[in-house]
Amino acid sequence: MNEPVIKTNKLTKRFGGFIAADEITFTVDQGEIFGFLGANGAGKTTAMRMLCGLSIPSSGQATIAGFDVYKQTEQIKKNIGYMSQKFSLYEDLTILENIRFFGGIYGLSDRQLKTKSEELIDKLGLQNEAKKLVASLPLGWKQKLSFSVAILHEPKIVFLDEPTGGVDPVTRRQFWDLIYNAADNGVTIFVTTHYMDEAEYCNRISIMVDGKIKALDSPANLKASFGVGSMDEVFYELARGAKRSD
Partner 1 sequence: MRTIRFLLQKEFRQIFRNRAILAMVIVMPVIQLLILPMAANYEVKNINIAIIDNDHSSYSQKLISKITSSGYFKLTGYNFSFKEAFRLIETDDADLILEIPRGFERNLVRENGQKIFIAVNAINGTKANLGGVYLTGIIKDFNGEVRLQLVPPAKFDRTLSIDIASSNWFNPFLDYHVFMVPGILAILVTMVGGFLAALNIVKEKEVGTIEQINVTPIKKHHFILGKLIPFWVLGNVVFTLGLIVAWLIYRIIPVGNIFLLYSFVSVYLLAVLGFGLLISTFCETQQQAMFIMFFFMMVFILMGGLFTSIDSMPDWAKAVSQFNPVSYLIEVMRMIILKGSGFKDILRQLGIIALFAVVFNGWAIFNYKKTS
**Positions in the binding site for partner 1 (CB under 8 A):** 52-56, 73-75, 77-78, 80, 82, 84, 86-93, 97, 100-102, 104-107, 133
Nearer to partner 1, 43 or 219 (CB): 43
Minimum gap (Å) between residue 93 Cβ and partner 1: 6
Q: Which is nearer to partner 1, 8 or 84 (CB)?
A: 84
**Least spacing, CB of residue 130 vs partner 1, in Å:** 15
Sign of the alpha-carbon torsion through 176, 120, 144, 34: positive
CA distance 73 to 221: 34
Q: How far is the CB of 150 from partner 1 (least distance, A)?
A: 9
User: Using N-to-C axis directions, what is the helix angle for 219-226 and 231-239, rounded to 10°?
Assistant: 60
Please say which residue, 21 or 196, places its beta carbon nearer to partner 1.
21
Q: Residue by residue, what is the 3-state secondary structure of 17-58?
A: CEEEEEEEEEEECCCCEEEEEECCCCCHHHHHHHHCCCCCCC
Nearer to partner 1, 104 or 138 (CB): 104
Kindly tell me which of 49 and 204 has the beta carbon lying closer to partner 1. 49
Cβ–Cβ contacts within 10 Å for residue 91, how many?
13
b/e code 48-76 from CB counts within 10 Å (16+ = b): bbbbbbbbebeebebbbbebebeebbeeb
CB of 165 to partner 1, least distance (A): 14
- Taking the complex as a whole, the smallest distance from the CB of residue 12 to partner 1 amounts, in Å, to 16
